[in-house]
Amino acid sequence: MTIPLNQNDMPFWTLSPEDAFNQFGTSLNGLAPDEAQKRLLRFGANVLKPKGKTDTLTLLINQFRSPLVLILIIAAILAFFLGDPINGGIILTIVVVSGLLGFLQERGSRLAVQKLMAIVQLKVAVVRGVNPVDIPIEDIVPGDIVLLSAGDVVPADCLIIESKDLFVDEATLTGETYPAEKLVGSLQKETSISHRTNSLFMGTHVISGSAKAVVINTGLIPNLAKLPNI
């Protein structure tokens, strides 16, 4: 399914729930699992910064790039050049052993962090194929219907389609110390971020109440409602 373009080229907080459903090819029943997978491949994971992968060889080479190690290597080369192979060999041995120890420690730390992240992976409730399921936040895609309640982190920029006594902490965005009340509705294009009462923004926290919302923007993707050829 192709996500059609909003002909009015308007930001998502100007849309009604029905407009959002039409634009993002979704409904209260959510996306079908196969359609969600297609969108995940198309738009990428819902992360602000792609996970950098360092292979084993690169990790090992990085151990010998510090200024101190480079100075020691140069000193060893000079020792060999000046006819002092014993001292040169001692210096190189120290460098190699130190580098290997650093490599093993860093590799072990990275593996430990990966295992820990797998354990504490954040999940969010979404409607997929009519039924609510819990999925990793990274797998959220535009058009998903998310279910939020007190204590949840908002996983992406969303438009509210249902709400009940919903208050959200947006201090990181607006500087407001009090939670913002959120309601269903459509707003003017010029509405400032602190007054976008029908919108939820990635990284904010639900303080109280509950909501059902349609995902608009994920990860590094800008406002999809303003992108051509979607």
**H-state helical runs in the chain:** 17-23, 33-43, 56-62, 67-81, 85-119, 171-174
The pLDDT value given to residue 117: 60
Here the contacts of 36-43 (C-beta below 8 Å, separation 24 or greater) are 36/128, 36/139, 36/141, 36/143, 36/144, 38/1, 39/3, 39/141, 39/142, 39/143, 40/139, 40/141, 43/141, 43/142, 43/218, 43/219, 43/221
The model's pTM is 0.68
Q: Contact, 54 vs 106, CB < 8 A? A: no
The pLDDT value given to residue 40: 92
Of 47-51, 121-125, 130-134, 216-220, which range is least confident?
47-51
Per-residue pLDDT for 4 more than 80?
no
Q: Exposed, middle or buried, 127 (CB in 10 Å: 0-12/13-18/19+)?
A: buried
Give the class (CATH, top level) of 12-48+123-219.
Answer: mainly beta
Which tokens is 34 given? 């196969």
d(Cα 175, Cα 205) in Å, to the nearest integer?
Answer: 14
Q: Contact, 172 vs 157, CB < 8 A? A: no
Average pLDDT over residues 46-63: 75
The pLDDT value given to residue 223: 56
Q: What is the DSSP letter of 31?
A: B
pLDDT-based confidence at residue 5 (cuts at 50, 70, 90): very low
Q: Compute the residue count for the chain.
A: 230
CB atoms within 10 A of CB 25: 15
Average pLDDT over the chain, rounded to an integer:
85
Average pLDDT over residues 153-176: 92
Per-residue pLDDT for 2 more than 50?
no
List, in sequence order, every residue forming a beta bridge with 20; answer none if it has no partner: none
Of 117-126, 149-158, 210-219, which range is least confident?
117-126
Of 10-14, 90-94, 115-119, 161-165, which range is least confident?
115-119
pLDDT-based confidence at residue 156 (cuts at 50, 70, 90): very high
| Pairwise pLDDT comparison (219 vs 144), residue with the higher score | 144
pLDDT-based confidence at residue 1 (cuts at 50, 70, 90): very low
Average pLDDT over residues 138-151: 94
The pLDDT value given to residue 118: 63
Q: Contact, 218 vs 203, CB < 8 A? A: no
